[in-house]
Amino acid sequence: MHPHSTDSKHMHHISAARRGEIMHELASIASTTANSQIDAFALRLSEALLKMSEVSGDAKEAKFSFNAANVLKNNGYAFYYLASGHLGQVLVKEVEALEHASSPGTHEKRDDMLSLVPYEVMDKNLLLANMSRTHENYISEHLAALGIRLAYLLGKDELPVAQNPFRPAVFLSAVHDAWCEFDPDTESHSLVLPLLRPDIFLDLLPIIKALNQDLIDRGVLPELSDSYRIRKSNTNQEATKKENQPALLQQLQHLFSPNEHPAGVKKTEQLLVNHFSAEYQNQMLQAAVNSQLLGYLASVQTTMSQQHAALPGSSFQPDTTLLSNIKAQAPRGTLTRVDEHTIDLLAKVFDVVFHNQDIPSEIKPLISLLQVPVLKTALADKDFFFKEEHPARRLIELLAKYSVAWDQKKGTDDPFYQTVQRNIKRVGEEMDHKTSVFSDVVSDLESFIQEEETTSIDALATPINEALREEKIGQARKAAKSEVALRIGTGEVVAFVEGFLENKWVPVLTLAYSVQDEKPEVVKNAIQTMDDLIWSVKPKITAEQRKELLTKLPSMLSALNKWLNLIKWEDADRLQFFAELAECHASIMRAPLELSPQRQLEISIEAAKKAAERRLEKRVAAEPAPPPDEFDQKTDRIERGTWIEYAPKGSESKRVKLAWVSPMRSLYIFTTKDKSESFSVSAEELAQAFREERARAIPTGGLVDRALAQAIESMGANDAMVKSVA
């Protein structure tokens, strides 16, 4: 029991002061839990900003996002200090506001008064509201439970999300305000807020869970019943949730709830279920298998085990009709309608396994031995069909996904094969007297897979370091090109200087950006030298301007030469450039002084005209980068651990695993099954391989989802099946 536990029966009799203390203690818990994530969040945010700089088609946006990423990377402690400070202060203010007022929080008030604020603030508040809703969807049930407990603690009938001091909007606003204080460059402020999405931002779920647990320990509604939850929840939200329920889930529920009628069969590609109503869960828990059926299944399992023992290895072939035969031959009266649906769905799952050409034929007989054990589990526990994390379902997914890694050259001596064989045998021997056997087996397999992954990464240390260096140079080159493009894009830079900047100063800036982490001042120095050069070749029509030019020339020329020495530009073209530069400066000094206003205007108009013509010429000459297509998107989504069939140009196809992806996803390292060969491929090369059908991702994940979707679709096509459900 919590040291400050309070009997729930007397919760409303505690003093307002004590309630305030509890609320402040909750704010401290939320702040501490959030602070532990700030460093990891900062790393994710830095990577997201770098990626934005790479894919952005806007040179200005690319520059600001790249700079922001580097500022964050190099000043992590300062950001932690500001973010943790803002979070602590805002959470305290929110709980105090809840204690002393019944009106919504200040953030929501501002949202209601959008017409009274500038458009920039309006845009920010609208985006903040949208981001908040996205986070709320991820933690909706836990957030609702917290709201109910807080309302009970404070003696309120209900506590809307808008008044919950721990709602996502509070965390998002506090962190964004911290960023605005952290980075004085206001251009980055609008770039960061859209990046505070759930996959990058602080994980709010453990924060809300910690708050719920603390209230439970204090005796605040320790058993929050579903009926209470429904009474306290917003009925419109519940209705919306039901309307958005995946079609596949609805059909599965109908199959296992004979009293309900299907609303129609629709195809879906995903089954994501986290929570069900209490009534439905009770239906699942009440499902049971009678002893006669269990005895029959035990005899079938024994027969299969004996056959496998008599014909080991490749001689034993999977019985693809086993589950269908069980349905037809089970003792009369032992199968309910729900049991029959369970067998049909499970038969489809294994049918997809047996017909999957990417799963080695030598592994399929081992997987087939799981048919009866998994059937026993699914008959007793329908969560197999609804929850991806169900141990028996997880086992099938692991075997389907990682069997691709089996090294056929080693045969049954391959460590993966032996691990699979040992664990499947264990399932058959232990499942009847050890309910946790599937969980134990999954843990063993995952440990083996993790060890293999760790070994693989360790062996790739050298190529990974080389790839990181290459990617760093690539990012530096992009930033360098962006800086130069910003300046020559105006069309106002004279031709020979423009060519110099594109051909020689881009390498200079690339070098500067590549060592920025160790020497942050070098980028500023290189950019200033470039800007001084551009300024020096512009007309100087007053004596003061020419005097300034003469003053700056020695240091500028010295800086130019130092940088050009670093990139080792030492041929005759360098002498030619400086000769042209000297002539340009001389012509500027020889031009007439103190021009009349009319002549100055004429010169300005002429310069603007030439600049416009040069901008148009550059725009016409530039070849716009093609927009990302489906193959670029496929490359960007591919995950580490994915196996693909890959054929380098002019070579035979081979099956390789994606062992590592660079932080900016610009380089991919693949390894062969036996880990004897590794090679890197750029994102562009991999996308082109997909485009030319020289690469094919092996779809090993989500096998059970696909099988269930196919089964439901086929049932929907069968009128008799639909009527039987009804």
Q: Over 90: is that where the pLDDT of 55 sits?
A: no
Residue 484 corresponds to which tokens in the numbers above? Answer: 């130069």
Q: Find where tokens 């609702």 sit.
A: 144
- Angle among Cα 628, 630, 633 to the nearest 5 degrees reads 70
Lowest-confidence segment of 61-70, 136-145, 264-273, 611-620 by average pLDDT: 264-273
> Taking Cα atoms as reference points, which of 357, 358, 354 lies closest to residue 368?
354
Q: Over 50: is that where the pLDDT of 241 sits?
A: no
Beta-bridged to residue 670, according to DSSP, are 658, 679
User: Which domains are assigned to the chain?
Assistant: 8-243 (no CATH), 291-459+706-725 (no CATH), 463-621 (no CATH), 630-693 (2.30.30.140)
56 in helix, strand or coil? Answer: coil
Identify the band that residue 670 occupies on the pLDDT scale cut at 50, 70 and 90: very high
- For 397-444, the DSSP string reads HHHHHHGGG--TTTGGGSHHHHHHHHHHHHHHHHTTT-TTHHHHHHHH
Residues in CB range of 210: below 8 A, 6 or more apart: 29, 30, 33
Top-confidence range, 87-96, 124-133, 356-365: 87-96
Lowest-confidence segment of 286-295, 480-489, 502-511, 642-651 by average pLDDT: 286-295
Q: What is the pLDDT of residues 282-334, one digit of tens each?
A: 444 334 445 678 888 888 888 887 776 666 555 567 778 899 899 899 888 88
Identify the band that residue 607 occupies on the pLDDT scale cut at 50, 70 and 90: low
Q: Over 50: is that where the pLDDT of 243 sits?
A: no
Amino acid letter at 34? A
Q: What is the pLDDT of residues 24-41, one digit of tens each?
A: 899 999 998 998 899 889
Residues in CB range of 203: below 8 A, 6 or more apart: 37
Asked if residues 643 and 405 have their Cβ atoms less than 8 Å apart, the reply is: yes
Beta-bridged to residue 681, according to DSSP, are 668
Q: Over 50: is that where the pLDDT of 475 sits?
A: yes
pLDDT at residue number 564: 96
- Stated pTM of the model: 0.52
For the chain, percent of residues with pLDDT exceeding 90: 26
Residue 536 corresponds to which tokens in the numbers above? Answer: 């020096």
Asked if residues 277 and 226 have their Cβ atoms less than 8 Å apart, the reply is: yes
Identify the band that residue 71 occupies on the pLDDT scale cut at 50, 70 and 90: confident
276 in helix, strand or coil? Answer: coil
Number of Cβ atoms within 10 Å of the Cβ of 92 = 16
The span from the CA of 41 to the CA of 45, in Å, is 6
Q: Over 90: is that where the pLDDT of 77 sits?
A: no
3-state helix, strand, coil in the chain (%, to 5): 70, 5, 25
CA-CA-CA-CA torsion sign (559, 560, 565, 570): negative
